[in-house]
Structure 1
Amino acid sequence: MTMTSIKLKRILEERLADPGYHTSYNRDKDRFRIEWKESKQGITITMPNVIAKYNERGETAIDDLVEHITEALRIMNEEHYLTGMEKDIYPVIRSTSFPTETKAGKKLVFLDHTAETRIFYALDLGKSYRLIDDVMLKEERWSKERIHEMALFNIRSLSTDYKMDQVAGNDFYFIATQDGYDASRVLNEAFLEEMKANSKGELAISVPHQDVLILGDIQNKTGYDILAQMTMKFFAEGRIPVTSLSFIYDNKKLEPIFILAKNRPKKK
């Protein structure tokens, strides 16, 4: 069937029928909002974006949307504590343009990472997670340093299994487990040092979006251009984009590299 905003609105109202929810539709902005009646906390959906996904993926797109909305609303309505959840605290990489406050005005805990990226901290809740804010820290008298150390310890416990691809004499490695912390593995220093030790050329790293980490063993000039094209493609397609820039990893530091894609491999 041809999907329209009005049809989608009716579907969402039907699928998300709950006495605790309040829904509204802004026809001028073509947005649908669902929120808890009591707290007014909720989610705003941009209808054309969902329709585009529906045209591409069919009913699965609506099923996924409803699942995400339900899970997000559940999290909003729950009290969360850090004590006892130490093993479920992870770092998440975001762009420097990512909001540092919640819509409710709570300041999120973050640390500068590179000129392009910041580290935020998440409490893993299974199917989703909640970003940790200052209020949570103050209530339990935790320091930012404690959260950071704990998050780094936990990220080291996650798998670093990768898929490898060789292109034009360069080796590229992709981590994409879809666990929400793929890009965060860039903070696993032991893993980066191991990859650096085993690289034949320069080790370059990209975090185009939350759900992928790309490492390139760059052995010729063409490798930089291939990495730039890959990174831009992933950045454009990512659900939570981070940065389209790549970095050189050297002396345990990430330095941004600016690559002009002049040497694209010729198609045969």
Structure 2
Amino acid sequence: MNKKPVTKIVSLLFLLFMAFIWIVPLAYSFLTSFKVEADLQSSGFTILPIHWVITNYQEVLFNNTSAPLAKWFMNSLIISVSQTVLVLVIVSLAGYGYSRMKFKGRDAIFVFLMATMMFPAVVNLIPLYKIIDTFGWVNSYLAAIVPGAAGVFNIFLIRQFMAGIPKEFDESARVDGASDFQIFTKLILPLIRPVLTVVALFTFTASWNDFLWPSIVFNDIEKMPITPGLQLAQGMYVLDISLSLTVALIAIIPTFILYLFTQKYFMESLSLSSGVKG
């Protein structure tokens, strides 16, 4: 008996099982968001709503007296998009410097930079907060945007991706009179687009889902991003499960859309050499 079809069938069944585990809670949460809380408590566990309503979404989106969800949503969007753009600029330039440029101590600096990954991020919270407080950035977007602008892992990822691009490309461009900046913008950037997309995806998702750091630097409810805001909303809607699930579902919409439209580039970048064709 050929083992290859059996392996494929087993793999398919395993993937279907994992998909089922992930999809069922989301589907149940989505359906529960259309339920009346009274029906949810009286009927117990039911998959489909007895009475379909949209009052939960109306309450969450338009009743901002207790939980300004729209404001939290916009705060998170501004912070996540700004941090993603800043990260792409910084780590792409850093990756180019460590991969293509030659300067004294380059490799030693990069090794030291990689060594900092051994320290847990939590040890930086107190000194980082003192720096933010000194700059007067507490309760501002800068407090959430700037500290995560230069992720070491992202620099490593882009550097390794650039290492797969033949340096003969650079030499040919220099023969034609191109400067380092022109080589970076016109030659390297188009080739590393897949890995930049993945970095952007991971950065946006991490920024959007970050809870600990925003909870420290924001104490003004109006300026909070959505993740620490959800913790407050959970306390407000502690007796209303359908409202709590509605808030959570709205919060995952941006990351879901982002993954939906960037999955092609994510799969393409799984191979560090996919940026170079031929």
Computing the radius of gyration from Cα coordinates, the structure with the larger value is 2
TM-score above 0.5, yes or no = no
- Structure 1 length-normalised TM: 0.25
Which structure features the higher share of strand residues?
1
TM (norm. structure 2) is: 0.24
